[in-house]
Structure 1
Amino acid sequence: MNTDGMPDLKHPENTKLLLKEETHQILGCAFEVLNEVGHGLHEKIYENALVVEFKLRGIASDQQRRYPVLYKGVQVGEYVPDLIAFDAVIVDTKTIDRITDHERGKMINYLRKAKLRVGLILNFKHARLEWERIVV
Structure 2
Amino acid sequence: MPEIRNKNFPESELTEKIIGCAFEVYKRLGHGIPEKIYQNAFAEMLSENNLNFRREKYGKIKFHDKIVGRYFLDFFVENKVAVELKARNDIFRNDVNQLLGYMKSEDVKLGLLIVFTRDGARVKRLIN
TM-score normalised by the chain length of structure 2: 0.88
Deviations 1:14-47 (A, max 9, x none): xx42111111000110011111111121111111
Q: In terms of Rg, which structure is larger? A: 1
Inter-partner Cα distance in structure 1 for 2:66 and 2:98: 21
Question: Match of 2:30?
Answer: 38
* Gap regions ≥5 residues in structure 2: 1-7
Matched residue of 2:117: which SS? Answer: coil
> Counterpart amino acid of 2:96?
R
CA contact (8 A) 2:22 2:42 kept: yes
Q: Is the contact between residue 41 and residue 125 of structure 1 (CA under 8 Å) also seen in structure 2?
A: no
Secondary structure of the residue aligned to 2:120 is: coil
1:1-136 maps to which residues of 2 (within 5 A)? Answer: 16-136=8-128
SS of equivalent residue, structure 1 residue 99: coil
Check the 8 A contact 2:30/2:120 in 1, yes or no.
no
User: Deviation at 1:97?
Assistant: 2.1
Structure 1: state its 5+ residue gaps. 1-15
For the residue of structure 2 that corresponds to 1:79, the secondary structure is: strand
4+ runs deviating over 6 angstroms: none
Task: Kindly tell me the number of residue pairs found equivalent between the two proteins.
Answer: 121
Cα distance in 2 for residues equivalent to 1:125 and 1:44: 15
Q: Which amino acid aligns with 1:55?
A: S
Write 1 or 2 for the structure with the bigger share of strand.
Answer: 2
Deviation at 1:77, TM superposition (A): 2.6
RMSD: 1.2
Using the TM superposition, name which of 22-31 and 126-135 deviates more.
Answer: 126-135
